Amino acid sequence: MSRLSRDEMLKHLPHRPPFLFIDEVEQLVAGQNIKAVKNVKAEEEYFKGHFPSNPIMPGVLIIEALAQASCVLYAVSLPSDAVRSYYLSSSKIRFLKPVIPPCRLELHSVSTKMVNQGGVFKVKAAVSNDTVAEGEMTFACQTQK
């Protein structure tokens, strides 16, 4: 089980601010699972509109954070020198509790299947060990020429 520094994490992930939704990787077992973290801060731009005076992290961004954590797991598990792009193909996520800043959003992903074309993952997001969202997602991976 390994931990990745932010720099190491970014080597495996094409996403960058303002569309980077994981801050660190706390645990990773290649081919199996990952636990990443997003420190959700009240100052983040999207909270200005979602919603004024009532900040709640949008569900689509929780999905994005879970997908990015899964991308890191995928990239570490199936290493390649090629530049990769990831396309979310499906997500079946149930949202259980609102994510209100400031908080530490834990992002868990367990690989169900990973092949060169993409991967299928079971995912869960939690705050203070309380599950806030869980489900499954599939993404396609394409290498850029």
Partner 1 sequence: MQCGFWFTGEFFNFGENESLVTSIGEPRMNLDNPKELETEIRKVVEATIEKNINALSLDDNVLQKMGLDSMTALEIMAAMEERFKIRIQEQDLPKITSLRSVMEVLIKYLKKKEIKS
Using rule CB under 8 A, residue 110 touches partner 1: yes
In terms of C-beta distances under 8 Å and separation of at least 24 residues, what long-range contacts does 109-113 make, across chains too?
Answer: 109/33, 109/34, 109/36, 109/66, 109/69, 109/70, 109/73, 110/32, 110/33, 111/31, 111/32, 111/33, 111/70, 111/73, 111/74, 111/77, 112/136
15 is catalytic: no
| Shorter beta-carbon distance to partner 1: residue 40 or 141 | 141
Using rule CB under 8 A, residue 85 touches partner 1: no
Say how far apart CA 68 and CA 66 lie, in whole Å. 5
Using rule CB under 8 A, residue 27 touches partner 1: yes
Using rule CB under 8 A, residue 117 touches partner 1: yes
Least distance in Å: CB of 46 to partner 1? 27
Phi first, then psi: give them for residue 49, nearest 5 degrees: -110, -10
Binding residue (CB under 8 A) for partner 1 from 89, 96, 130, 143: 89
Residues making contact with partner 1 (CB under 8 A):
1, 27, 29, 32-33, 35, 89-90, 108, 110, 112-113, 115-120, 122, 124, 126, 134, 138-140
